[in-house]
Amino acid sequence: MKYIIIIGDGMSDHPVERLGGKTLLQYADKPCMDIIARQGRTGRLISVPNGFLPGSEVANTAILGYDLNEVFEGRGPLEAAGMGYEMTADDMTLRCNTITVSNDKIINHKGGYINDDYAETLIEYLNKELGDKRVNFVRGDQYRHLLVIKGGNKHIVCASPHEHIGERWHTLRVKPENGWADRHDVYTDANGNEHQRMTGQQTADILNMLIEKSHTLLSAHPLYKSGEIKANCIWPWSGGYRPKMRKLSQMYHNIKSGSVISAVDLIRGIGWYAGLDIINVEGATGLANTNYEGKAQAAIEALTRQDFVFVHVEATDEAGHDGDLETKLQAISNLDHRLISPIYNNVMKWDEPVVMAILPDHPTPVEMRIHVNEPVPFIIYHKGIEPDSVKTYDEYSVINGAYGTIDSRQFMEKLFEFSLNNS
């Protein structure tokens, strides 16, 4: 038995007047998803557990069946694993965007898509000017990097930059969580000795200082002054300590081996902690120009030798954050024609059953440009499954699906139902 989950990040949306009141999934050209919906069973998934914000770090971890209350440590530690940075016990690691601010406002949460060569130059420069034995910047790709604070305290409030476009950045300063201003957290070193971390206020003060100084430094950098880059500030957010996650093979007897395919460090990091092999696909960018065909071929090849593959496409989410209706529609169509269709047409010829699931992790409506906490539509299909009455794949059709509305704890159970019923 084989299993594949395909995530169109942020793919679901709201009705748009320009599309005659249809959602993007209702309007987009996606024949393969509609065929799979007619042949399979559908429903709505509450992918974000109560008490958590609707980020990809939350939703993708929850979709895989993890209890967020036990394992969630923020986005930074997950991205660290995806970048190959091995966290130590005293690390507090945050995601760190290079952003653009102007007239005291955040105007772009990704600094205009910096290429990796320029990103490396900026991170080296920031480490030289701001790094020390306590502060270290780790380069990721494009605008997605890490900031590591040795002895930092995770009990702070950091605004995510993509949720605050157009807002005054000085009003979004980092602050300690309630009750943590003067409170220390602790960590245990490799020898079993306990050490005290900074207070929440001390950590917030360091981060606010780094934001202010980075703005001064990057605004004066030759690459910015020449117009070659648009990034002129850093923005750290979603920090935490090293997660304690079990491998999927320890959680599910159906999974003995598996792979994750994504251009995004966050998803690769979740996969790494889940015990999955990380497959890097040449030309996979996390943007609308990603290598869909390469991801499809990598997924097919991985399924020939492993039990489980998790495929993630970021392009739909990026277009949603940009408010780019046409690009998001094209990204949905590309996902359907260039990735889902070749996978479906290939694996459905196999003698060994393949269970396929398709879903977004959360909605990123183009007219809101942020993640929202709403159920997402999903399909599960395999040969022999009894179809429900749903004929198309979108946010509203699946309300009538056989699965109804389920929460994230139930999703993997539904994925494995076929093997349980035939064991």
What does the pLDDT look like over 112-146, one tens digit per residue? 878 888 999 999 999 999 999 999 999 998 899 99
Domain over 2-72+245-419 is classified CATH 3.40.720.10:
yes
The two three-digit tokens of residue 183, written as one number: 């409170």
Under 8 Å between Cβ of 362 and 10: yes
Residue 413 above 70 pLDDT? Answer: yes
* pLDDT at residue 420, as a whole number: 54
Task: Report the Cα–Cα distance between both ends of the chain, in Å, rounded.
Answer: 11
Residue 197 pLDDT greater than 70, yes or no:
yes
Give residue 257's pLDDT: 98
Alpha helices (H) along 285-359: 292-305, 315-322, 325-334, 341-347
DSSP annotation of 314 reads -
- Whether residue 66 contacts residue 60, with contact meaning beta carbons closer than 8 Å, is answered with no
353 has pLDDT over 90: yes
**Other CB atoms within 10 Å distance of the CB of residue 358:** 29
| 138's tokens | 């780790």
Predicted confidence at residue 422, as pLDDT, reads: 57
pLDDT bin (cut points 50, 70, 90) of residue 340 is very high
Beta bridge partners of 151: none
The confidence score (pLDDT) of residue 423 equals 45
CA 145/CA 147 separation, integer angstroms: 7
**Per-residue pLDDT tens digits for 53-94:** 999 999 999 999 999 999 999 999 999 999 999 999 999 999
The stretch 189-212 carries a mean pLDDT of: 97
- Amino acid 164 reads H
Closest Cα partner for 92 from 199, 243, 242?
A: 242
Phi, psi torsion values for 284, nearest 5 degrees: -80, 115
Burial of 133 (0-12, 13-18, 19+ CB in 10 A): exposed
269-292, pLDDT tens digit by residue? 999 999 999 999 999 999 999 999
Element (H, E) at 54: none
Specify the DSSP class assigned to residue 340.
I
Residues of the chain with CATH 3.40.720.10: 2-72+245-419
Minimal CA–CA distance to 266: which of 203, 300, 310, 231? 310
Which pLDDT score, from 0 to 100, does residue 45 have? 98
CB 52, CB 68: distance < 8 Å:
yes
Rounded to two decimals, what is the model's pTM?
Answer: 0.90
How many other C-beta atoms can be found within 10 angstroms of the C-beta atom of residue 116? 11
105 membership: H or E segment, kind and range: strand 105-108
Indicate the average pLDDT of the chain. 96
